[in-house]
Chain A
């Protein structure tokens, strides 16, 4: 099977201080012993580092943002497919997952496979739907409410539905802890200006944040799961260092959640472990996270397994992972030629 050369289109190539998962996903795929790959990078901006990282990305095409319309994006994918004959498409940004779930059937008709959650799975785990999700699947989640104005936050407080401190979150990214009404209003304005509405306010749960990266096969089976604790967090709340944990309760938790939702695709669970050792689910990201290469290093190559599932292969679940495996992220000044920047900027290809 190693002789198979799969053409895999991958987005999320912004390997910056708040990195997309593209390059770590590619690293896992490159290490596959089951297939060879040609990586077709999908970029939205000229200065995403991925297109210039030729050891990981063989060829890059710029595409229009999904917010500019689905049809221009689809036309561009058709153009790329005509040239590359793509086998698998892996979108890696939260903001594009919804669009690609919608496009999955059309892509499949073209011969392009994806391995994404269903629209129902995607919608029900949304930040604004999390309390209902917790109730349905029998898991603890902090109270949260979607709001469209700062005054709604104040009403929630005066109605005793929320209290300070609370977490103010963007619909896709960003989260701030607000200790009073002034901070809540500032964070509401900051987040709504950047990510739009609604903004989600969530009960603050005190404890240690822990995360799990996992992959569900769509029938309720967990293909792999690796728990991690962030050891160093940047001012953007991103992990700059992390370590795999020996925590069977987190693995059980993940198995139950995936069995209950029949989750299909990559998933990241963000959890808070309280002093009483209880796990609260604070967020579900419907994709593999930027730290997924830690799972690969811990002997669970989830990106490779995802590609195999997408191409219709059976994948045996991973049963073990290395405990105490660490990652430390670093920044690196990559030197690039103006010619390449010019080529990507003017032709949209590199």
Chain B
């Protein structure tokens, strides 16, 4: 999954989509995930990084991760060919 290149993501978790004018606020975990996705980390790598860092099992992480990425798609924050 590739995040839209034009998205502006601040260190405080503020996301601005300049093509629609929409803005969003991320919690620290979501920010960490979106930063990895922006660096083109595949989902498996994201899972690995997060489950190693935090006390969360893989299946729980996956559930929340796919919920989150589904939301990103719905909000059209992913690159067009990834929709």
**Chain A residues with a Cβ under 8 A of chain B:** 208, 228-229, 231, 242-247, 323-324
Q: How far is the CA of A242 from the CA of B19 in the complex (A)?
A: 13
Tell whether, in the assembled complex, residue B20 and residue A229 are in contact, meaning their CB atoms are under 8 Å apart: yes
Main secondary structure of the interface of A (DSSP, over half): strand
Q: How far is the CA of A228 from the CA of B19 in the complex (A)?
A: 10
Give the A-B contact count at a CB cut-off of 8 A. Answer: 20
Closest to A275 in B: B76
Q: How far is the CA of A242 from the CA of B21 in the complex (A)?
A: 8
Residues of A within 8 A of B8 (CB): 324
Q: How far is the CA of A208 from the CA of B22 in the complex (A)?
A: 11
Tell whether, in the assembled complex, residue B16 and residue A245 are in contact, meaning their CB atoms are under 8 Å apart: no
Tell whether, in the assembled complex, residue A323 and residue B20 are in contact, meaning their CB atoms are under 8 Å apart: no
Q: How far is the CA of A245 from the CA of B18 in the complex (A)?
A: 5
Return the CB mask of B3-43 against A: 1 if under 8 Å, else 0: 00010100000001011110000000000000000000000
Return the CB mask of B47-81 against A: 1 if under 8 Å, else 0: 00000000000000000000000000000000000
Closest to A208 in B: B20
Q: How far is the CA of A1 from the CA of B25 in the complex (A)?
A: 47
Residues of A within 8 A of B6 (CB): 246
Q: How far is the CA of A246 from the CA of B6 in the complex (A)?
A: 9
Minimum Cβ distance to chain A for residue B82 (Å): 15
> Considering residues B6, B18, B19, B21, which has the most beta carbons from chain A within 10 angstroms of its beta carbon?
B21
Tell whether, in the assembled complex, residue B16 and residue A324 are in contact, meaning their CB atoms are under 8 Å apart: yes
Q: How far is the CA of A229 from the CA of B17 in the complex (A)?
A: 12
Q: How far is the CA of A243 from the CA of B21 in the complex (A)?
A: 6
Minimum Cβ distance to chain A for residue B64 (Å): 27
Q: How far is the CA of A247 from the CA of B6 in the complex (A)?
A: 11
Closest to A248 in B: B19
Q: How far is the CA of A116 from the CA of B2 in the complex (A)?
A: 47
Minimum Cβ distance to chain B for residue A276 (Å): 12
Closest to A244 in B: B21
Minimum Cβ distance to chain A for residue B16 (Å): 6
Extra inter-chain contacts (18) besides given A208-B20, A245-B20, CB under 8 Å: A228-B21, A229-B20, A229-B21, A231-B21, A242-B21, A243-B21, A244-B21, A245-B18, A245-B19, A245-B21, A246-B6, A246-B18, A246-B19, A247-B19, A323-B18, A324-B8, A324-B16, A324-B18
Minimum Cβ distance to chain A for residue B19 (Å): 6
Closest to A243 in B: B21
